[in-house]
Amino acid sequence: MPQYKAPLRDMQFVLHELLNIEQHYASLPAFADTVSRELVDQYLETAADFCENELAPLNQIGDREGCQWHDGVVTTPTGFKEAYQKYIELGFPSLTAEEQYGGQALPNSLGSVISEMVGSSNWAWGMYPGLSHGAVRTIEHHGSDQQKNTYLPKLVSGEWTGTMCLTESHAGSDLGIIRTKAEPNSDGSYAISGEKIFISAGEHDMAENIVHIVLARLPGAPRGTKGISLFIVPKINVNADGSLAERNAVRCGSIEHKMGIHGNATCVINFDQAKGYLIGPENRGLNCMFTFMNTARIGTAIQGLAASESSFQGAVTYARERLAMRALSGAKNPDKEADPIIVHPAVRNLLLTQKAFAEGGRALVYFLSQYADLVEHAATEEARQSADNILSFLTPIAKAFLTETGYEAANKGVQVFGGHGFISEHGMEQIVRDTRIACLYEGTTEIQALDLLGRKVLQSKGALLKDFIQIVTQFCEQHKDNAQLAEFIAPLATHLKQWGDITNQIGAKAQENPDEVGAAAVDYLYFSGYVTLAYFWANMAAVAQQKLAEGSTETAFYGAKINTAKFYFSKILPRTRAHTAIINTGVGTLMALSADDFII
């Protein structure tokens, strides 16, 4: 089983050297006086210790034992509950919450770094506190004062956890067709009835209460997405003084048997005239949810990054130890019966692909989290809007591209192990199974692709794309005379131009036939992902080169950074050629078959 070790040096490289995060915090009134480099590094150390020593050892246990359901009660795997208590004691649940409800009011970007460690060491466990986060944010932004006072302190402290109850058996991506009903009670509350599925952490034994945020329809609500409202539905009702009252009519009907994340309870939750409280305006539930769509999707992007990182760690260790065959260029280990498999170019290709996705993904995620800070805390509305444009544009890329590359990296980790990769005890196949869901939930890759190309790029008439291209262009301009970076800057600039060109081409075709958008979207997303990561790799190479030029003694670290950038540009970025060629062929061959003719 891979022994997780938090990549603190790389995290610090991205935070401090690539993103100048201290300066970023200093520029934001909310954090200028409170968040220093020392504080960031101290949280990282604490989180690393907790994740390496408490969570990682439970990862395989969670997979093997899974959750147990008995008559509505869910028992989590051995050790999960105790680890959660330690997590509370360390103060992690309250990290980013508002101070007046007991939060530490620290930046979300710091939360993302900690989420990466939690997720890399034990994703299934991390979903319990992770889901709470969405509930807290929803109540913080849309709740009444009374709702905030009732629910936030206990959610923030971690004594209670939260869920998001959106999906129904027939309605996943298409939330407009949900059927759960909310009928007004005489006391101002609502009676919520319906069945929700795929509710992660929907029932468990780790906290004394669970606060469900539920999408439902009011009587006579308009059809579709404009008739959905948001409700707080606690598992156990709460008295006015905050103490627990009687059980609400909320029941976990069953838990799913699934491919992975066995340690997390994926629940069917039945609401049978359960008491609920409207949160936010009537029929505006989806809009309220969309407030956090970007951060929730970054949260899922982190799962992809985490899979790349943990699988990479396991694979490198194995590739250095496992002896099999000789290097084609002659024995490297002549006194042993074979060479370690890391001598083989094909094995190195697997490992470097993982490394490039993990470290490149880290840069993208932390960069986005920095923009999420700006969206909330930048001093001017203009700065917030401009940050929101970048965030909105990059979020579907990060979510879909990093989860797909995370899945690829996890599979490459299995491949490095050969047949042993298929065996559970080594832990490599678990990473594949656990991370497979990341390409599905929070909007599948196909949905993200439509969001990127349709909503973000074409609906803005290319404006959001231009904003990001401007950032990259500026970087290219800045380094255009640096000969050592030419191998990165030139192809990056070429790809930027191509990005604009294919966008225009698709836009023109879509005028004729809207299905051209759906036909191009997934390849467009991959193209965008590869170019986005190329920017971060070029940028990281530039930073590393600068450090070496300044005489840093960390030559191995910075040298590896530059060499991995070179690998990315020579072995990964050329994948864009397939995607542009495929985009060029348009929608035609996709729509030719009638539904009846797929199988004859």
* Catalytic status, residue 168: no
Say if strands 209-216 and 160-165 run parallel, antiparallel, or are unpaired.
parallel
Please give the Cα distance from 211 to 474 (Å, whole number). 46
Looking only at the bridges linking them, the beta strands covering 181-184 and 190-200 are antiparallel
Show contacts with its own copies in window 269-288 (CB under 8 A). Answer: none
Stretch that binds its own copies, among 80-88, 97-105, 127-135, 345-353 (CB under 8 A): 345-353
* Shortest CB 575 distance to its own copies, Å: 4
Shortest distance (Å) from residue 60 CB to its own copies: 11
Residues 6 or more apart from 74 whose CB is under 8 A from it?
67, 68, 203, 204, 205, 252, 255, 265, 267
Tokens describing residue 7: 């990549």
User: Least distance from C-beta 421 to its own copies, angstroms?
Assistant: 6
Question: In this structure, are residues 448 and 400 in contact, taking their beta carbons and an 8 Å threshold?
Answer: yes
Look up residue 301 and give its two tokens: 């992007």
When asked if residue 305 is in the footprint of its own copies (CB under 8 A), the reply is: no
Task: Report if residue 585 touches its own copies, rule: CB under 8 A.
Answer: yes
Least Å from the CB of residue 458 to its own copies? 11
CB of 429 to its own copies, least distance (A): 4
CB of 58 to its own copies, least distance (A): 18
Residue at token pair 């509930």:
135
The single residue among 187, 240, 335, 599 that binds its own copies, judged by CB under 8 A, is: 599
Applying CB under 8 A, among 40, 113, 155, 351 the residue interacting with its own copies is 351
Q: How far apart are CA 391 and CA 372, in angstroms?
A: 7
Q: List binders of its own copies among 375-434 (CB under 8 A).
A: 407, 411, 414-415, 418-425, 429, 432-433
Range 126-185, binding its own copies (CB under 8 A)? 167, 170-174, 177
Distance CA(526)–CA(519), nearest Å, equals 13
State both tokens at 227: 């008739």
* Binding span for its own copies by CB under 8 A among 84-92, 128-136, 257-265, 394-402: 257-265
Q: At residue 30, what are phi and psi to the nearest 5 degrees? A: -65, -25
Reading the block at residue 561, the tokens are: 């950074």
Nearer to its own copies, 191 or 338 (CB): 338
Does residue 557 interact with its own copies by CB under 8 A?
Answer: yes
Does position 260 interact with its own copies (CB under 8 A)? The reply is yes
Spatial separation of the C-alpha atoms in residues 468 and 462, rounded to whole Å: 10
User: Which is closer to its own copies, CB of 73 or CB of 591?
Assistant: 591
Asked if residue 440 binds its own copies (CB under 8 A), the reply is yes
Distance CA 62, CA 262 (A): 6
Least distance (Å) between residue 141 CB and its own copies: 26
Chain residues 506-535 in contact with its own copies, contact rule CB under 8 A: 513-515, 517-519, 521-522
- Could you tell me which residues come within 8 angstroms of residue 269 by beta carbon, excluding any fewer than 6 positions away? 163, 165, 195, 196, 197, 199, 202, 203, 212, 250, 251, 252, 253
Give 135-194 as a 3 state SS string.
HHHHHHHHCCHHHHHHHHHHHHHCCEEEEEECCECCECCCHHHCCCEEEECCCCCEEEEE
For residues 343 and 319, give the distance between their C-alpha atoms in angstroms, rounded to a whole number. Answer: 9
Does 11 contact its own copies by CB under 8 A? no
Q: Which stretch binds its own copies (CB under 8 A): 33-41, 96-104, 500-508, 588-596?
A: 588-596
Choose, by CB under 8 A, the member of 352, 374, 390, 534 that binds its own copies: 352
* Closer CB to its own copies, 70 or 257, in the complex: 257
The contacts of residue 10 (CB under 8 Å, 6+ apart) are 359, 362
Distance CA 294, CA 391 (A): 7
If one asks whether residue 349 binds its own copies (CB under 8 A), the answer comes out as yes
In angstroms, rounded to a whole number, what is the distance separating the alpha carbons of residues 29 and 383?
Answer: 13
Nearer Cβ to its own copies (550/597): 597
Report, in Å, the least distance between residue 588 CB and its own copies: 7
* Cα 348 from chain centre: 27
Site for its own copies in 315-344 (CB under 8 A): 316, 320, 323-325, 327-329, 337-338, 340, 342, 344
Q: Which of residues 183-222 bind its own copies (CB under 8 A)?
A: 198
- Answer for which of 72, 184, 222, 588 binds its own copies (CB under 8 A) is 588
Q: Which of 442, 446, 516, 554 is catalytic?
A: 442
Which stretch in 152-160, 245-253, 309-317, 477-485 sits in contact with its own copies by CB under 8 A?
309-317
Q: Taking contact as CB under 8 A, which single stretch among the options 104-112, 136-144, 461-469, 580-588 is the one that binds its own copies?
A: 580-588
Taking alpha carbons only, the member of 151, 152, 161, 141 closest to residue 101 is 152
Count residues binding its own copies (CB under 8 A): 106
Q: Which amino acid is at 255?
A: I
Tell me whether residue 133 or residue 436 sits nearer to its own copies (CB atom). 436
- Residues in region 443-482 near its own copies by CB under 8 A: 444-446, 449-450, 454
For residues 67 and 77, the answer to whether their CB atoms sit within 8 Å is: yes
Active site residues: 442
